[in-house]
Amino acid sequence: MKTVTIQNIRIGAETPLAFLAGPCVIESREHVLRMAEEIKNLSEDTNAPIVFKTSYDKANRSSIDSYRGPGIEEGARILEEVKIQFGLPLLTDVHELWHVEILRDFVDVMQIPAFLCRQTDLVVAIAESGCVVNVKKGQFLAPWDIEQVIGKITSTGNDQILLTERGVSFGYNNLVSDMRAIPIMKQFGYPVVFDATHSAQLPGGLGDATGGMREFITPVTRAAIAAGANAVFLEIHDDVENALSDSTTQWPLEKARELIQQLQEVYEVTRNMEDL
């Protein structure tokens, strides 16, 4: 398996369990800086490799009235400030081709949103940035379909790729995580990330917003790690009930240490088990 390097963090077959963690979206400069400091402290306290993630724009909200974020200009300034002040590796999702040039000099991982994973021009532009590429497998794709997305990325010469499983559409307003997807995608030779929080969503489940079932994050993520996931994508917020997006599935900051430590234990027990 290819080992992907993000600053001083390595993600692969023989590396510690890594996390891509942070708030869903930039709610304010003050909030994201506070969360970055908390995430850095969390990484040091648990000895967990953590890439800080947040979004400057959530372009796929359920309603026209849903909060999207500060946008690319202000969002990029805030993200760069996080990088300078805390030195954390940064991940953000990218929705537009022209955003790539703005972000490429200080963002470490550019994420291709699930709904856009087959948009060839966007996939290629992000790959050409030279950043690590995290592809979220669309809810409409079978796990073996991700091979074609990998081909688009590697056509640029970029082989620093993470593949993220975030559930598959199962009837109306429902996602189901098929754990077979993790070993299937690993066969393509790149680390697989499990999206703990988005996998618990009920897309459009609240009518004008996405709902979710936070209570299933822990058991499903334990199962994903046992199935072979190399890293966990985990949205964390310090006031989940009042979060401006995905309030039903972001993980409470006060419980983050306990969850990370539990997942590390599962990883250590299962990482060297051979398939029978």
Q: Please give the model's pTM, rounded to 2 decimal places.
A: 0.95
According to the model, what pLDDT value does residue 133 have?
Answer: 98
CB count within 10 Å of CB 162 equals: 26
Q: CA 122, CA 173: separation in Å to the nearest integer?
A: 27
Q: What is the DSSP string of 174-218?
A: -EE--TTHHHHHHTTTS-EEEETTGGGEETTTTSSS-EE-GGGHH
Q: CA 103, CA 128: separation in Å to the nearest integer?
A: 12
According to the model, what pLDDT value does residue 208 have?
Answer: 62
Query: What residue ranges do the domains of the chain occupy?
Result: 17-269
Question: What are the angstrom distances between the C-alpha of 203 and each of 91, 183, 239?
Answer: 23, 25, 21
According to the model, what pLDDT value does residue 174 have?
Answer: 87
According to the model, what pLDDT value does residue 70 have?
Answer: 95
What pLDDT, in 10s, does the model give residues 166-200?
999 988 888 899 999 999 999 999 999 999 999 99
Cβ atoms of residues 251 and 39 within 8 Å: no
For domain 17-269, give the CATH superfamily. Aldolase class I (3.20.20.70)
CA-based nearest residue to 16, from 65, 64, 62, 50 = 50
Q: List, for the chain, all residue ranges whose pLDDT scores fall below the cut of 50.
A: none
According to the model, what pLDDT value does residue 207 have?
Answer: 67
